[in-house]
Amino acid sequence: MTISLDSPTASNRRERLAGLRRTSGRVGHFLLRMARNPLTAIGGGIVLLLMIVALFAPWIAPFHPLVQDLNNALTPPNAVHWFGTDEFGRDIFSRLVYGARITLYIVLLVSVTVGPLGLLLGVTAGYFGGKVDMLLMRITDIFISFPSLVLALAFVAALGPGLEHVVIAITLTAWPPIARLARAETLSLRQADFISAVRLQGASPLRVLWRHIVPLCMPSVIIRITMNMAGIILTAAGLGFLGLGAQPPDPEWGAMISSGRTYMMECWWVVTIPGLAILINSLAFNFLGDGLRDILDPRSE
């Protein structure tokens, strides 16, 4: 009797190692292509820095973001308070660091919610067509016809101020462009030869959508979501500025600008520094989205 020297466990281990090598190779190639574009590298670096700052905020911030020190109110930037203090003597740098957590919370939660929602509605409308397409697209047109900030204001006014309500409001206003993009991609794929071959083999519509249409739409949707993150930051900051987002004393960047606008002529740092944080991170997400489009979209090559 012949005994194989390769046990199933050893064979599985080799397959896993080979899979890890292939994955690491793809990731390395992806990062190398991103690094070749200076703006993409800058945007990715700033986004990575934002994540690190949000994750390690308690160790990075030199002061507690909510503790008031009225004796040091409106202190200009110095060696102790790098970005100065606000009207209550709170360290602006520490509040910016903790505010990164709120910003990332809104961006990530909206992105993971709006992506599947827009993708599901878009591929459904594009694949089935007819009355389903007409109904879903007319609903989409209604949402697109209003400016996103105005529509978000209406939803927050109905739901009430609060961070969770801001996430819901932005999600309800951010899905229509993604749905339209997924629909357009699906319409171009629906009559493809390989989709027809899959149908002839007896695949159900759900299987065709899940196994073939959705994976091909994913790169475009990811690119769109990444580029939408800048708009999410600006909308969240706008709602915070109007007092409808994170409530005081939470260190949300838009709310920081709102509370400091009274002193902006004499104490420029109270408004300028949170505004620069919003600007820089919005640009970073735009740069990153442009780079992902160049890498993931084969039509850009």
For residues 35-48, average pLDDT: 84
Residue 129 burial (10 A CB sphere; 0-12, 13-18, 19+): middle
For 232, 234, 282, the CA distances from 228, given in Å and listed in that order, are 6, 10, 10
| 146 token code pair | 């209003």
pTM higher than 0.85 for the full model? no
31 is written with which tokens?
């990062």
Domain extent listing, the chain: 109-301
Residue of higher predicted confidence among 185 and 27: 185
SS3 state at 78:
coil
> Do 44 and 290 touch, CB atoms closer than 8 A?
no
- Taking domain 109-301, whether its CATH number is 3.40.50.150 is answered by no
With 0-12 / 13-18 / 19 or more C-beta atoms within 10 angstroms meaning exposed / middle / buried, residue 278 is: buried
- From the list 86, 252, 278, 231, the residue with the least C-alpha distance to 161 is 252
For 115-160, what is each residue's pLDDT tens digit?
899 999 999 998 888 888 899 999 998 888 888 888 888 888 888 8
Question: 219-258: per-residue pLDDT in tens?
Answer: 888 888 888 888 899 999 999 998 888 888 889 999 999 9
Q: How confident is the model at residue 1 (pLDDT cuts 50, 70, 90)?
A: very low
Q: Where are the alpha helices (DSSP H) in 129-262?
A: 130-144, 148-159, 163-190, 193-200, 205-208, 214-241, 253-260
Nearest to 285 by CA among 209, 242, 232, 229: 229
pLDDT greater than 50 at residue 109? yes
* CA dist., res. 299 & res. 301, Å (int): 5
* CB neighbour class for 41 (10 Å; exposed up to 12, middle 13-18, buried from 19): middle
Position 273 scores a pLDDT of: 94
